[in-house]
């Protein structure tokens, strides 16, 4: 069955919201991420249910069906592989690739995706540390912690970010924070939950709780 870019984007958004919770996804939550109105979402959910890609009962919220999940994962796979391509092969910075990948993720050719995967050396993660589903839609499980959840001074390694926005990524770059960076947590301040941390053995600096929430680390 033919699928439109818009339908693909809806499935991707429902998938993203579903990763954070086991509850059904609300119309409003979808509307916010899709940057559209709830009324439009209701229309689309009816259509997606019709096509068998989501389970939806009015007023009850929505979940992806098995088939919908498969489609969503294939879009995520394409998005992340293209991001790797843009950074590794085209020389873009990690804060410049998300918007372009939003377009490239809709290119339809299984052959191309698999050749691209091979060309890139079957990467496990994208430039933001997010896992890349394999050909069969299986996501490698990466058990990372949010830097903001760490309770005591210890050493950890920056493995990913929880946000792709350019402003956030540019701030990290300014702080000399990139994938693989070594973080020696010196102190966690109770007052504003800021973290005093040494990055790659440099003199320690303060990182706000807001930033720490969006940094994923391996302990």
Candidate residues 12, 15, 78, 98; the one interacting with Mn ion per rule CB under 5 A: 98
Minimum CB separation of residue 189 from Mn ion in Å reads 30
Comparing CB distances to DNA, the nearer of 56 and 82 is 56
Give the Cα separation of 113 and 107 in Å (integer): 9
In the range 132-161, which residues lie near Mn ion by CB under 5 A? Answer: none
Q: Which does 37 bind (CB under 5 to 8 A by kind): Mn ion, its own copies, DNA, none?
A: DNA
Among 44, 116, 211, 212, binds its own copies (CB under 8 A): 116
Q: Which does 115 bind (CB under 5 to 8 A by kind): Mn ion, its own copies, DNA, none?
A: its own copies
Question: Regarding beta strands 215-218 and 155-161, do their DSSP bridges make them parallel or antiparallel, or are they unpaired?
Answer: antiparallel
- 84 contacts 123 by C-beta, under 8 angstroms: yes
Burial profile 82-109: b = 16 or more Cβ within 10 angstroms, e = fewer? bbbbbbeeeeeebbbbbeebbebbeeee
The Cα 179–Cα 217 span in angstroms is 9
Backbone phi, psi, residue 109, to 5°: -175, 100
- Name the binder of 107 from DNA, its own copies, Mn ion, none, CB < 5-8 A by kind: its own copies
What does the binding site for DNA look like in residue numbers (CB under 7 A)? 4, 6-7, 26-29, 34, 36-47, 56, 58-61
Q: Rg (Cα) of the chain, in Å, rounded?
A: 19
Q: Which stretch binds its own copies (CB under 8 A): 49-57, 114-122, 135-143, 176-184?
A: 114-122
For residues 66 and 191, what is the distance between their CA atoms, to the nearest angstrom?
45
**Six-digit token string for 88:** 């590794």
Nearer to its own copies, 43 or 110 (CB): 110
Counting contacts by CB under 5 A, is residue 95 touching Mn ion? no
Residues 54-113 that bind its own copies (CB under 8 A): 86, 89-92, 96, 99-100, 103-104, 106-109, 111-112
**φ, ψ for residue 195, nearest 5 deg:** -120, 130
Name which of DNA, its own copies, Mn ion, none residue 126 binds, using a CB cut-off of 5 to 8 Å depending on partner kind.
Mn ion
Beta-bridge partner residues of 205: 197
| Residue 206: Cβ-neighbour burial (10 angstroms; 0-12, 13-18, 19+) | middle
Instruction: Give residues in contact with Mn ion (CB under 5 A).
Output: 83, 98, 126, 128, 130, 164
Instruction: Give residues in contact with its own copies (CB under 8 A).
Output: 86, 89-92, 96, 99-100, 103-104, 106-109, 111-112, 115-116, 119
């Amino acid at each position: 069955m033919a699928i439109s870019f818009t339908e693909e984007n809806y499935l991707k958004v429902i998938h993203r919201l579903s990763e954070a919770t086991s509850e059904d996804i609300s119309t409003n939550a979808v509307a916010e991420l899709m940057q559209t109105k709830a009324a439009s979402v209701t229309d689309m959910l009816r259509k997606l249910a019709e096509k068998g890609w989501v389970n939806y009962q009015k007023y009850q919220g929505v979940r992806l069906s098995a088939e919908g999940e498969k489609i969503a994962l294939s879009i995520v796979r394409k998005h992340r592989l293209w991001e790797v391509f843009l950074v590794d092969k085209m020389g873009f910075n990690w804060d410049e690739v998300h918007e372009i990948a939003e377009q490239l993720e809709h290119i339809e050719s299984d052959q191309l995706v698999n050749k691209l995967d091979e060309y890139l050396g079957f990467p496990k993660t994208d430039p933001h540390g997010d896992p890349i589903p394999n050909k069969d839609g299986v996501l490698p499980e990466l058990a990372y912690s949010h830097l903001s959840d760490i309770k005591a001074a210890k050493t950890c390694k920056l493995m990913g970010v929880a946000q792709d926005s350019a402003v956030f990524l540019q701030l990290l770059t300014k702080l000399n924070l990139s994938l693989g960076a070594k973080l020696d947590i010196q102190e966690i301040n109770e007052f504003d939950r800021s973290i005093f941390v040494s990055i790659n053995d440099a003199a320690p600096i303060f990182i706000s709780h807001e930033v720490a929430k969006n940094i994923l680390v391996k302990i």
